[in-house]
Chains A and B, each alone.
Chain A
Amino acid sequence: MDNMRAPVEMEMSKLPNLTVGDVYVDTPRMTTRNVNVFYGDKMAIDDVTLDIAEKQVISFIGPSGCGKSTFLRCLNRMNDTIDSCRVEGQIKLDDQNIYDPHIDVVPLRASVGMVFQKPNPFPKSIFDNVAYGPRIHGLASSKDELDGIVEASLRRAGLWEEVADRLDQSGTGLSGGQQQRLCIARAIAVSPEVILMDEPCSALDPIATARIEELIFELREEFTIVIVTHSMQQAARVSNRTAYFHLGRLIEVGETSTIFTNPQHELTNSYITGRFG
């Protein structure tokens, strides 16, 4: 493996920074232009330009440390919590530059929700987990309305049948897969436009994973979804478009079917055929 990787990395420095494939789409929900991300002096993302199409699933794939999670966390400014992190370039949500100094991250994160790698329900009841977002944003004007939001969100996350009779029990008492669906319900309860998912299935068993994948498939009717995944099968199953990252650069992006059957770039080809990563 190692002797395979060395020549590839040497090759990188000589590579012209050009993304292969179609980075632009007709109906973008989010657009990123020439985005660089630094951790201190270290460059983590190098000049990424990409459109995220409305009501589609786009998956980010690539070897560990390629920057796909970093890039994902830029899309709702979750990187703000890291002091040394600096973002350059332009990221827009519906023509609004989200890194504008006047932008408040609260409404941004309400419209760009996030599901994390490890299921992280609050140590509160199932109901309170889902109701938290609507409560802090004042989405529901009455108890009935809040109940309605919680039920609808749990239904859309495919969890309602399993938890309807124990909404007052702790969210941390659910199984891993259920917890992750609870987190998805929590994210969609505030009616976001975009949902970011950072390897949502990496801590789950295959059955729970299949359940989440089905759910993603259903949710793309209503939401724009960006998913980071290590599983190429998963990317192939759930996404419309796929973006391949390598060492902080966006190497190739295109229709999922094209990427997996006919990759244009040599690095993409090596990765999806399992030669490294």
Chain B
Amino acid sequence: MNEPRKGIIPPQVAISRVNASLAARRAGERRFRTYGRIAIGIALAFLVLLFVSIFTKGIPGFFQYYVTLEVVVDREKIDPAGDLSVQSLYDGDARGIIRNALYKATGAEGRSGRKAAGKLISKGAEQRLREAIIKDPSLLGKTVAMKFALDDDADSFLRGYISSAVPEKDRRINDKQIEFINKLQKLQLISYDFSDYLIFGSASRDPEIAGIKGAFVGSMLTLAVCLVLAFPMGVATAVYLEEFAPKNRITEIIEVNINNLAAVPSVVFGILGLAVFIGIFGMPRSIPLIGGVVLALMTLPTIIISSRAAIRAVPPSIRDAALGVGASRLQTVTHHVLPLAMPGMLTGTIIGMAQALGETAPLLMIGMVAFIVDIPGGVTDPGTVLPVQIFMWADFAERMFIHKTSAAIIVLLGFLILMNAIAIFIRNRLERRW
């Protein structure tokens, strides 16, 4: 038997001690896995909750109630000037034509009856009639069946949000109107259909005709400005910092500041935009151009940081190879480093763009929260963006806006998913080339 020496543990003792510690280690590992599963479970549960909530509220937002009326399109009444000009159509009595059709269908009589019936139909109906006539002038003089949106109160009643058990003076829809609705339903004139107003309508205080088209176009214009500014600037900055800038104090300070900028609250960029572009340069408020510039400032750090990471991931041996055959530094970058780093840069850019698409706060600061009915035709027309539209709708009292808000959220999410899918597609295509 050897004399046990200090600092040397016999193998049998060592293995028994290892075995003794095993149970604790295994328990630790099991515990850690359980924590992980619980955490993922909670996250998933909330995600499911979020989606269920958005979809149960949002899907009905894509539909609304319409009423089909036999409209007698009287040439004299709708087009008094007889030249089918917009002015003439607006001078004409489109409302009267629709109302007459409505009175006939409901059998409304007397002042109060006609007043009640008139409120059942949306204010957007007249515009729809005018548009139909501009599109197809042969309708003039005929009797045609046309579908008009119901007013949001009637819509809410049909959805069951307004109970007829509530005393008449406490509800937004009176007994007469309920009677008319029941009659129209019996005649099978009321239908529950896809809401074209949601997609093709513009901002409105009337929920039944409010839509996201204006906000969607505004979002696209803003994102286009943002991308055009942020992508080239971000990539150029990243390339310069990684490949050309001397490694000295100034570069270091710039790097630290760029990293810090990524963490600056977005509303600060909004204040910057307000102070500089609107305050100093005197540019108009609410325009996608300024929105895009502000969002570009906000996404620049994200793009720069991810682009630098992508450039750094290009193996130095590729640079050596290019320099070794006599490529200049710029050629090395444009021929080899950039193409190899491009998938990573695009990923960063798409993440930045997705961030910009969902951004609300800085745009509130520059006035993109204004109520604008016209669809912006360019980057200098006042407009709003999807998240701000959602924000505004969430603020409105009408019941129908709850559905519209969730429906707009679904559109926004769908668009984000589409953007990511495109990014992944582009990235895979580029990667395959190399």
> Cβ of A121: which chain B residues have Cβ within 8 Å of it?
321
Q: Please, which residue of chain B has its CB at the minimum distance from the CB of A120?
A: B317
CB within 8 Å for A136 and B336 given contacts A120-B318, A123-B434, A124-B434: no
CB within 8 Å for A186 and B317 given contacts A83-B246, A122-B336, A123-B340: no
CB within 8 Å for A109 and B336 given contacts A83-B246, A120-B317: no
Q: Does A76 contact B (CB under 8 A)?
A: yes
Whether B323 contacts A78 by the Cβ 8 Å rule is yes
> Cβ of B340: which chain A residues have Cβ within 8 Å of it?
123
A-B contact sample (10 more), CB < 8 A, given A109-B326, A132-B327: A81-B319, A116-B317, A116-B320, A122-B321, A133-B325, A136-B327, A186-B325, A187-B324, A187-B325, A190-B325
Where the two chains meet, the residues of A that have a C-beta atom closer than 8 Å to any C-beta of B are 76, 78, 81, 83, 105-110, 113-116, 118, 120-124, 132-133, 136-137, 183, 186-187, 189-190
A122, B331: Cα distance in complex, Å: 14
Q: Please, which residue of chain A has its CB at the minimum distance from the CB of B321?
A: A120
Between A and B, 20 residue pairs with Cβ closer than 8 Å are: A78-B320, A78-B323, A81-B323, A106-B326, A109-B325, A110-B325, A115-B324, A120-B318, A120-B320, A121-B321, A122-B322, A123-B340, A123-B434, A132-B325, A132-B335, A133-B325, A133-B326, A136-B325, A186-B325, A189-B325
Whether B317 contacts A110 by the Cβ 8 Å rule is no
Whether B324 contacts A109 by the Cβ 8 Å rule is yes
Q: Please, which residue of chain B has its CB at the minimum distance from the CB of A189?
A: B325
> Cβ of B336: which chain A residues have Cβ within 8 Å of it?
122
Q: Which of B296-325 contact A (CB under 8 A)?
A: 315, 317-325
Whether A183 contacts B321 by the Cβ 8 Å rule is yes
A-B pairs with lowest CB-CB distance, top 9: A120-B317, A110-B326, A114-B324, A133-B325, A109-B326, A123-B434, A120-B321, A106-B326, A83-B247
> Cβ of A115: which chain B residues have Cβ within 8 Å of it?
324
A124, B318: Cα distance in complex, Å: 11
Q: Please, which residue of chain B has its CB at the minimum distance from the CB of A114?
A: B324
Whether A118 contacts B247 by the Cβ 8 Å rule is no
> Cβ of B320: which chain A residues have Cβ within 8 Å of it?
78, 114, 116, 120
> Cβ of B321: which chain A residues have Cβ within 8 Å of it?
116, 120-122, 183, 186
A67, B335: Cα distance in complex, Å: 31
Q: Which of B318-374 contact A (CB under 8 A)?
A: 318-328, 331, 335-336, 340
> Cβ of B326: which chain A residues have Cβ within 8 Å of it?
105-110, 113, 133, 136-137, 190
Min Cβ gap B321→A in Å is 4
A107, B324: Cα distance in complex, Å: 11
Min Cβ gap B315→A in Å is 8
A13, B142: Cα distance in complex, Å: 111
Q: Mark B173-212, 1 if CB is under 8 A from A, else 0.
A: 0000000000000000000000000000000000000000
